[in-house]
Amino acid sequence: MDTKLAPTRSNLMKLEDNLKFAKLGYELLDQKRQILVSELLSLVDQAVDYQSKVDESLDTAWSTLSQSIMEMGRLKVGNLSGATNIEYSVNVSQRKVMGVSVPVVETTFTDKGPYFSQESASLLSELAIQRFSESLELMGRLAELKVSIMRLSREVKKTIRKVNALEKISIPETQDTIKYMKGRIEESERESFILLKNVKDNLQKQQEAKAKKDAKESLDLSVKTVSSNINVEV
């Protein structure tokens, strides 16, 4: 509560406007917090799902590569790996969630096969390449989700701090100051009313006293005039 602020009507109106603005800001921030939390929980669920998909995909890809090595030999598989011709691109764009920039990762592959003769290679080698490509796509999506979660979680913390500051500090203090100022203004108005009433009563008493004095003086003058007339006639 700010007791240093002068208790005037203009200051009271400013405080009431500030209180309305603070309540509006609180409502908007609370809505933002709810939307961010909802989005964050959705991304966390997706990240958990994609993490399991990435783990499963990598396990399958490594298993396929191991089978290919067992069937063809490590040296031959190593030679074939140098013959692959796959172009890839990772495009990172942005999208907004309640003013927060989160990434959108798109991973694309351009397959320019065949890389080698089908007669000298096992189908497992090509299957391993395909599964590793699928794993990379999933990893790109997982990276997008994890970065989005980190950014949204930071924004949620900031929003919660602002909401708590408005709810527990700013709004209550402003309300207390308004209550204190209204009390001071009402007290001042009562004192002014009593003072004016006393002044009015004093003025009325003075006017009544003056009226009595004027009436008495007029009566005395009339008596003197009558006496003078009587003496002249005699």
The DSSP result for the chain, as a single string, is ---SS---HHHHHHHHHHHHHHHHHHHHHHHHHHHHHHHHHHHHHHHHHHHHHHHHHHHHHHHHHHHHHHHH-HHHHHHHHTT--EEEEEEEEEEEETTEEEEEEEEEEEE----S-TTSS-HHHHHHHHHHHHHHHHHHHHHHHHHHHHHHHHHHHHHHHHHHHIIIIIHHHHHHHHHHHHHHHHHHHHHHHHHHHHHHHHHHHHHHHHHHHHHHHHHHHHHHHHHHHHHHH-
* pLDDT, average across residues 32-40: 92
Q: Tell me the C-alpha distance between 181 and 16, whole Å.
A: 11
Asked if pLDDT for residue 234 goes beyond 90, the answer is: no
As a whole number of angstroms, the distance between CA 18 and CA 15 comes to 5
Confidence of residue 116 (pLDDT cuts 50, 70, 90): low
Residue with tokens 């190593």: 78
pLDDT of residue 157: 93
What does the pLDDT look like over 9-30, one tens digit per residue? 888 888 889 889 999 999 999 9
61 or 82: which leads in pLDDT: 61
Highest mean pLDDT among 13-27, 76-90, 180-194: 13-27
pLDDT in tens, 41-59: 999 999 999 999 999 999 9
- 135-144 pLDDT, tens per residue? 888 998 999 9
pLDDT digits (tens, 9 = 90+) for 92-108: 888 888 888 888 888 88
β-bridge mates for residue 90, sequence order? 107
**Gap between the Cα atoms of 163 and 157, Å rounded:** 10
Mean pLDDT value of segment 106-126:
67
Distance in angstroms (rounded) separating the CA atoms of residues 36 and 31: 9
- Alpha carbon of 133 to those of 17, 33, 90, 124, 223: distances in Å? 59, 38, 12, 14, 130
Q: What is the pLDDT of residue 210?
A: 76
pLDDT at 82 over 70: no
> Once rounded to an integer, what is the mean pLDDT over residues 146-153?
93
All structural domains of the chain, each given as residue ranges with its CATH number in brackets, are 9-179 (1.10.287.3240)
Residue type, 45: D
Distance CA 217, CA 181 (A): 53
Positive or negative, the CA dihedral 48, 50, 51, 57 is positive
